[in-house]
């Protein structure tokens, strides 16, 4: 498996919790940005001619904020320069405040077959406090434009004074809109964002309160037929995101655009975070890469454990041993012993016991060498 990620670093306004590479004031640079994006796609595609790619993911930022022909143009460029598998999964992230029927029709005509809508909350007062540009009703309108399509919804837990009942109703709203997949993220108060001040003032839920809501929500989602397949991701069987599963299983991926990361074999590189820097470098025929590293075997082993244990089914110990030519049980003997109460082996897969998946971070630390 291999995936292509395209980053669109524009938003209408910055949400109060977000520290992703998204620049509302730079939207005037979208034309120059996409021209460079097309050049980067061409260059990357030509250097990876022999690879077959199975998934394409337009993320952001807000990919749905730019005219649809910029997105379909990028897709055309990918089709021209990359070797693509026949059953491509093509996802686009959509902010409900930036969509109309024409855009939806253009996306569908171009082959986009998965739509990830940023709902975040079903409550308008919460959406406002998060700096979102849409209401809960806008989500339903957006979902209605996408009726019958493969829909995912992003929701947040851990908001100011949020109760489980509110999360439950937000899930209900996502399902009423036709979502077959839900990404439920615990709000991370990132330093430098406005919400970080709320966090410092003790206005957000405590981590124990968030954990309680998370556990109740996991059960509720299960009742509704959505199984957890990764710490924050839930799907009706068959609707899991192939693109993200490829990431968690450490398949190769190429990232194009500002801040996008790539992993090809044991090499990881990440593009510049800044639009001007990106544009200047691409125009000068330079790689827009800000950092790169060659991973050691130990790095790769740790990443396999770290990402694999995020998934409900974990990872295959036999595959691990074959890939790295080590005995996993022996190499990680001490870490396994220390965490034996939290881990399980089923059909040769090591995973975190379901009741501890939410706190898998604490377990993974012990696998760092």
Is residue 178 close enough to count as binding ligand SF4 by CB under 6 A? Answer: no
324, interface contact from ligand SF4, ligand SAM, none, CB < 5-8 Å by kind: none
Is residue 60 close enough to count as binding ligand SF4 by CB under 6 A? Answer: yes
Q: Which of residues 17-46 bind ligand SAM (CB under 6 A)?
A: 17-18, 20
The size of the chain, in residues, is 369
The 3-class SS string of 253-297 reads EEEECCCCEEEECCEEEEECCCHHHHHHHHHCCCCCEEEEEECCH
Is residue 308 close enough to count as binding ligand SF4 by CB under 6 A? Answer: no
14, interface contact from ligand SAM, ligand SF4, none, CB < 5-8 Å by kind: ligand SF4
Q: Please, what is the minimum distance in Å from the beta carbon of residue 61 to ligand SAM?
A: 6
Binding mask 105-124 for ligand SF4 (x = CB under 6 A): -------------x------
What is the rounded CA–CA span in Å between residue 111 and residue 99? 17
User: Contacts with ligand SAM: how many residues (CB under 6 A)?
Assistant: 17
Residues in CB range of 113: below 8 A, 6 or more apart: 88, 89, 90, 149, 150
Contact 226, 236 (CB under 8 A): yes
With tokens 């143009």, the residue in question is 73
Going from the C-alpha of 37 to that of each of 20, 43, 83, 148, the distances in angstroms are 18, 10, 18, 31
Stretch that binds ligand SF4, among 13-21, 189-197, 204-212, 220-228 (CB under 6 A): 13-21
Tell me which of 30, 55, 62, 121 binds ligand SF4, using CB under 6 A: 62
Contact 5, 40 (CB under 8 A): no
CB-wise, 9 or 288, nearer to ligand SAM? 9
Is residue 259 close enough to count as binding ligand SF4 by CB under 6 A? Answer: no
Q: Please, what is the minimum distance in Å from the beta carbon of residue 4 to ligand SF4?
A: 19
What is the rounded CA–CA span in Å between residue 117 and residue 154? 6
Binding mask 174-193 for ligand SAM (x = CB under 6 A): -----------x-xx-x---
Provide the 3-class DSSP secondary structure of residue 52: strand
Query: Which has the closest alpha carbon to 177: 204, 120, 139?
Result: 139
Binding site for ligand SAM (CB under 6 A): 17-18, 20, 59-62, 93, 95, 118, 120, 154, 156, 185, 187-188, 190
Binding site for ligand SF4 (CB under 6 A): 11, 14-15, 18, 20, 22, 60-62, 95, 118
């Amino acid at each position: 498996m291999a995936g292509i990620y395209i980053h669109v670093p524009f938003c209408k306004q910055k949400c109060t919790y977000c520290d992703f590479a998204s620049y509302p004031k730079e939207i005037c640079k979208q034309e120059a940005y996409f021209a460079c994006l097309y050049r980067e796609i061409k260059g990357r595609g030509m250097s990876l001619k022999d690879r077959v790619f199975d998934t394409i993911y337009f993320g952001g930022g807000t990919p749905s904020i730019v005219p649809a022909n910029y997105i379909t143009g990028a897709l055309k460029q990918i089709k021209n320069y990359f070797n693509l598998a026949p059953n491509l999964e093509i996802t686009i992230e959509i902010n409900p405040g930036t969509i109309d029927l024409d855009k939806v029709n253009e996306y569908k005509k171009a082959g986009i077959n998965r739509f990830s809508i940023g709902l975040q909350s079903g409550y308008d007062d919460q959406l406002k406090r998060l700096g979102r540009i849409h209401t809960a009703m806008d989500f339903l309108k957006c979902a209605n434009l996408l009726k019958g399509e493969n829909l995912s919804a992003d929701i947040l837990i851990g908001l100011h004074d949020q109760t489980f009942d509110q999360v439950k109703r937000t899930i209900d709203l996502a399902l009423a809109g036709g979502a077959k997949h839900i990404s439920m993220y615990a709000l991370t108060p990132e330093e430098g964002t406005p919400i970080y001040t709320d966090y410092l003032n003790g206005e957000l839920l405590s981590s124990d309160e968030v954990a309680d809501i998370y556990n109740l929500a996991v059960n509720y989602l299960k009742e509704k037929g959505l199984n957890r397949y990764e710490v924050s991701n839930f799907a009706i069987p068959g609707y899991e995101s192939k693109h993200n599963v490829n990431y968690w299983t450490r398949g190769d991926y190429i990232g194009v655009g500002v801040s996008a990361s790539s992993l090809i074999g044991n090499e990881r590189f990440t593009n510049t975070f800044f639009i001007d820097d990106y544009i200047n470098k691409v125009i000068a025929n330079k790689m827009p890469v800000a950092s790169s590293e060659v991973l050691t075997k130990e790095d790769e082993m740790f990443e396999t454990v770290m990402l694999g244990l995020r998934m409900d089914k974990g990872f295959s110990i036999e595959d691990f041993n074959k890939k790295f030519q080590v005995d996993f049980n022996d190499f990680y003997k001490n870490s396994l012993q220390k965490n034996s109460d939290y881990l399980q082996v089923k059909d040769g897969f090591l995973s975190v016991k379901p009741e501890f998946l939410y706190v898998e971070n604490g377990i993974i630390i012990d696998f760092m060498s």
